[in-house]
Amino acid sequence: MLDDKKLCIIGSGYMAEAIIKGLVSKNLLPAENIFVVNPLDEEKVLKLKDLYGIIPREKEAGIIDADIIIIAFKPQDVAEAMAMYNPFFRKDHLLISILAGISTDLLQKLADSPLAIVRTMPNLALGIGESATAYCLGKYANEKHAQTVEKIFSTTGSIIRVQEKDMDIVTGLSGSGPAYIYYLLEALIEGGCKEGLSEEKAMELAKQTLIGAAKLLQESGAHPKELRRKITSAKGTTEAAINKMDSYQFTKIVQEGVSAATRRSKQLGKIFEENAIHVVNM
């Protein structure tokens, strides 16, 4: 439990709902301690109230009455939104951001006073409580804040701490990662179809293969290389496939994908930062 802390989520989209679902279903916070603020979409906030029992609040009251604030709007809205909520932030608030590409330095620049800021990077599986989340601390955040963030995000999957300079790599690996896995699955399905299976059957086999392999990885605790070697007997079918994939530099292709996403994350971060500073200076 997070004692009797009160938490205010700003934004009411996919990720906000996923966080609420995690907190309520794992009993980390009672629903009446969770406030949701979104003056732009009150209907969605009311829907969250009906679904989870959270409390819709006006922006001022929601923030003032909270100990912890999670910002869950889009990165491109950061300058306008921070200007809107800044007057209500306090020094003793913990501000948790899930905004992709927005640094703790930029959030601090957009805030009027020093704030304990923690930046997180979850992924799409937050919605089913299986996100791989990473976080880093802003300059005014401490170990107590880190513990709180770990408690919150362990209700939605796993969480690890990294340095802020590594957040773009996190984005390139686990942030975009689910899409790479789906892409691999698409290729597996196409492979089965090319050899003569119907798409429906290839899809069913590929999907369950992914689920089974993921569960095996989790339950065994083994390194993926170890599991792969276990099912790769000399001169067998798996070895034939791996050798063929290696001849097309499978590992390099995936590594290059992660690097391209990491570079793009850096570029987008710069663009968001320039736009936000531009909005502030207007």
Ligand X SMILES: NC(=O)c1ccc[n+]([C@@H]2O[C@H](COP(=O)([O-])OP(=O)(O)OC[C@H]3O[C@@H](n4cnc5c(N)ncnc54)[C@H](OP(=O)(O)O)[C@@H]3O)[C@@H](O)[C@H]2O)c1
Asked if residue 96 lies in contact with residue 122, where contact means CB atoms within 8 angstroms, the answer is: no
Number of residues that bind ligand X (CB under 6 A): 26
Does 1 interact with ligand X (rule: CB under 6 A)? no
| DSSP-assigned beta bridge partners for residue 35 | 8, 55
What is the phi/psi pair of residue 243, to 5°?
A: -60, -45
Minimal distance, residue 120 CB to ligand X, in Å: 8
> Can you tell me which of 9, 12, 48, 96 binds ligand X, judged by CB under 6 A?
12
Q: With residue 169 as reference, give the H or E element that holds it.
A: helix 167-170
Does 265 interact with ligand X (rule: CB under 6 A)? no
Does 41 interact with ligand X (rule: CB under 6 A)? yes
| Residue nearest ligand X (C-beta atom) | 13
Q: Which two tokens stand for residue 262?
A: 């990491």
Of residues 148 and 156, the one with the C-beta less far from ligand X? 156
Burial 70-98 (b: 16+ CB within 10 A, else e): bbbbebbbbbebbeebeebbeeebbbbbb
Minimal distance, residue 236 CB to ligand X, in Å: 38
The length of the chain, given as a count of residues: 282
Does 34 interact with ligand X (rule: CB under 6 A)? no
Interacting positions 71-110 with ligand X (CB under 6 A):
72-75, 77, 81, 84, 98-100
Does 15 interact with ligand X (rule: CB under 6 A)? yes
Minimal distance, residue 72 CB to ligand X, in Å: 5
Interacting positions 108-127 with ligand X (CB under 6 A):
121-124
Other Cβ atoms within 10 Å of 67 Cβ, number: 17
Phi-psi region of 249 (alpha: psi -120 to 50; beta: other; left: phi over 0): left
Q: Which residues bind ligand X (CB under 6 A)?
A: 10-16, 38, 40-41, 44, 72-75, 77, 81, 84, 98-100, 121-124, 175
